[in-house]
Amino acid sequence: MSQTQKIPVIYVRGFAGGQSGIDSAVTDPFLGFNAGSTHIRIGPDNKPSFYQFESPLLRLMVDEGYQLLVQGSQETYLDTHAEIPANSVWIHRFYDPSASTWGGTPKEFRVEDAAQDLLELIEELRAKAHVDRVHLVAHSMGGLICRCLIQKVLPERGIEPTAYVAKLFTYGTPHGGIAFDLGFGMLERLRDAIGINGAEIFGRERMYQYLTPGATAADEPPENWDPRAMPATGEPFAFPHRQVFCLVGTNPGDYDVAHGLSSAVVGPRSDGLVQIDNAYVPGAFCAYVHRSHSGRYGLVNSEEGYQNLRRFLFGDLKVESALVHVRLPEEKNTVWQAETGLSIRGLQIVMHERTSAQWCPIQLGSGTQPGVDGDGAVPMVSTFLCENLASPNGSGTLRYALHLRILSLRERDNGFLDFRDHIEQTADFDDILIVDVSSEAGVPVLRAVWNSTIVGPISDYEPTGPDLADEDPASGRWISHIPLPDSTTTILGEDARIRLVATEWN
């Protein structure tokens, strides 16, 4: 198990819809967090190979030693025990008061009430587990309930959110609301005016009311208000972006199978319900995975989702990568894109991938790419590594592969793409950076090599040569720049580098 100190994990489910959806949701004892999935992949001799993902709930118990405490209900367990273990998982059953199946009159669902109930659960866990904070793990609308707690409920009570919440992980949360490709905004206005099954909670006006301290039902958002934004470090009652991770789905097709032609309305750049651009908090950690919004092949029910969750919550080392000092050719009507992928040795899934085929490449433009530090930085991906999950080959080394492809698209003067010299899905540059990570006396030790220089299979490769030098040993972080292959000079410029920055995590 990871050595990170365990604190309670609270799971917050997504939107159920109208009364029948709510009544159906509450019949599940763990509101979907217990649901796994099965699928097949091509194995040797083209024979199907069966793959089983147990569920994020079960895997937290097996991998990280968490406990699920139920005595008729989790609420009863809390009521009858003065103390509980910190390494425990809890389900926020906020829909129960709104269900008609228990008898009595159902209570109208409100995000603010669900966030207030979440606060009461956290306070009880803090007292009985003898911890200061909890982790929040949320799917879809559940992430908005968590943000209502962090951005509105706690600040209105004068409580710093970081005093109660350690980390927030969201699966497919519509941080920017839910928008539609069709109707030129009319569908959103109709939804927000009528409130079909309570779906107005995904519109800007309602989001402003439950995400803004002091806002009331009569308030409207300023014209430039971005619902995705969370107060940054340094602002009153801020919740640092480094404590937020957003998992973004890029496969609308599997969601359509279970929910009709949703992507035809939302658009292909989505997980079937939430558009890619609305599924993250600007400045937060993100991973893009080819999964749909929900269902058996959805984000929550996936190995990809779980591995990103586990490493974010319990990892030892954070490694950030960026493409820096980029100088793209100044070619008229040429658009440049980067595709990235991240794989970790020992896992049967891709942890992160942004590709044009999945509607989410990194748009580079042309010329110098401005970066936050002025060096033309193009952020690629951040990953979290667990030292105790090092390869079982006995090397004690963590290995991951960072796939980078650079593609160009040419446009005609009329704005249409020019395919005369185009070869579809063929990259101008395509290589994989193999990174080996170990530690000596608690200090990161990294080696990196481009796959194009490795002779034979990657699995047989043993790192040789000197370790990468730490270029800023006094900063409290490890940093190094890796030159790109010579073949990229005419595309990315002579000074282009991959920048790796490693810092302790947790």
* Residue 306 sits in the same domain as residue 164: yes
Show Cβ contacts of residue 299 under 8 Å, excluding neighbours closer than 6 positions.
139, 171, 172, 247, 249, 271, 289, 291, 292, 293, 305
Q: Which amino acid is at 381?
A: V
Q: What is the pLDDT of residue 195?
A: 67
* Residue 248 sits in the same domain as residue 369: no
Choosing from 263, 292, 314, the residue where a domain stops is: 314
In this structure, what CATH number is given to the domain that contains residue 277? 3.40.50.1820
Q: With respect to residue 1, please indicate whether it lies within any of the assigned structural domains.
A: no
**Cβ(493)–Cβ(473) below 8 Å:** no
* Residue 335 sits in the same domain as residue 309: no
Tokens of residue 284, six digits = 């937060």
Show Cβ contacts of residue 6 under 8 Å, excluding neighbours closer than 6 positions.
64, 65, 66, 86, 87
d(CA 49, CA 79): 46
Up-side HSE of residue 436: CA atoms within 13 Å toward CB?
19
Collapsed DSSP state (helix, strand, coil) of residue 37: strand
d(CA 336, CA 366): 6
d(CA 219, CA 212): 10
Q: What is the pLDDT of residue 416?
A: 72
CA-nearest of 303, 178, 151, 156 to 239 is 151
pTM, full prediction: 0.93
The residue segments making up the domain with residue 195 are: 9-314
Q: What is the DSSP letter of 389?
A: G
Q: What is the pLDDT of residue 369?
A: 40
- Beta-strand (E) ranges in 332-391? 334-344, 352-354, 362-365, 378-385
What's the number of domains the chain is made of? 2
Q: With respect to residue 4, please indicate whether it lies within any of the assigned structural domains.
A: no
**pLDDT by 10s per residue, the chain, length 506:** 445 689 999 999 999 988 999 999 999 999 999 999 887 766 778 887 888 999 999 999 999 999 999 999 999 999 999 999 999 999 999 999 999 998 889 999 999 999 999 999 999 999 999 999 999 999 999 999 999 999 999 999 999 999 999 999 999 999 999 987 765 566 666 666 666 777 899 999 999 999 999 999 999 999 999 999 998 777 889 999 999 999 999 998 877 555 655 667 788 899 999 999 999 999 999 999 999 999 888 999 999 999 999 999 999 899 999 999 988 887 777 888 999 999 999 898 999 999 999 999 998 864 434 333 445 688 999 999 987 775 555 567 899 999 999 998 887 777 677 777 777 778 899 999 999 998 887 788 899 999 999 999 999 999 888 899 999 988 788 999 999 998 888 888 899 999 999 999 98
Up-side HSE of residue 241: CA atoms within 13 Å toward CB?
15
Tell me the Ramachandran region of residue 64: left when phi exceeds 0, alpha when psi lies from -120 to 50, beta otherwise: alpha
* Residue 219 sits in the same domain as residue 355: no
Choosing from 265, 291, 314, the residue where a domain stops is: 314
* Residue 257 sits in the same domain as residue 378: no
CA-nearest of 315, 208, 298 to 248 is 298
First to last CA, the chain: 14
Q: With respect to residue 140, please indicate whether it lies within any of the assigned structural domains.
A: yes
Q: With respect to residue 432, please indicate whether it lies within any of the assigned structural domains.
A: yes
Q: With respect to residue 287, please indicate whether it lies within any of the assigned structural domains.
A: yes
Show Cβ contacts of residue 48 under 8 Å, excluding neighbours closer than 6 positions.
40, 41, 42
* Residue 309 sits in the same domain as residue 325: no
Instruction: Please give the C-alpha separations between residue 165 and each of 58, 147, 228, 231, 280, in angstroms, as whole numbers.
Output: 23, 11, 19, 15, 18
* Residue 366 sits in the same domain as residue 302: no
Q: What is the pLDDT of residue 376?
A: 67
| 254 class by beta-carbon count within 10 Å (0-12 exposed, 13-18 middle, 19+ buried) | buried
Query: How many CB atoms sit inside 10 A of residue 232's CB?
Result: 12
Q: With respect to residue 77, please indicate whether it lies within any of the assigned structural domains.
A: yes
CA 85 to chain centre: 28
Show Cβ contacts of residue 116 under 8 Å, excluding neighbours closer than 6 positions.
153
* Residue 382 sits in the same domain as residue 245: no
CA-nearest of 314, 308, 272, 274 to 289 is 308
Residue with tokens 């269900």: 99
Q: Are strands 134-139 and 9-12 parallel, antiparallel or unpaired?
A: parallel
Q: With respect to residue 414, please indicate whether it lies within any of the assigned structural domains.
A: yes
* Residue 472 sits in the same domain as residue 389: yes
* Residue 298 sits in the same domain as residue 421: no
What would you report as the CA-atom Rg of the chain, rounded to the nearest whole angstrom? Answer: 24
Choosing from 285, 314, 343, the residue where a domain stops is: 314
Residue with tokens 């060096």: 375
* Residue 283 sits in the same domain as residue 216: yes
* Residue 278 sits in the same domain as residue 344: no
d(CA 312, CA 57): 16
Instruction: Please give the C-alpha separations between residue 434 and each of 13, 80, 216, 466, in angstroms, as whole numbers.
Output: 37, 52, 52, 15
Q: What is the pLDDT of residue 219?
A: 95
Tokens of residue 175, six digits = 């941080």
CA 405 to chain centre: 22
Q: What is the pLDDT of residue 372?
A: 37
Q: With respect to residue 117, please indicate whether it lies within any of the assigned structural domains.
A: yes
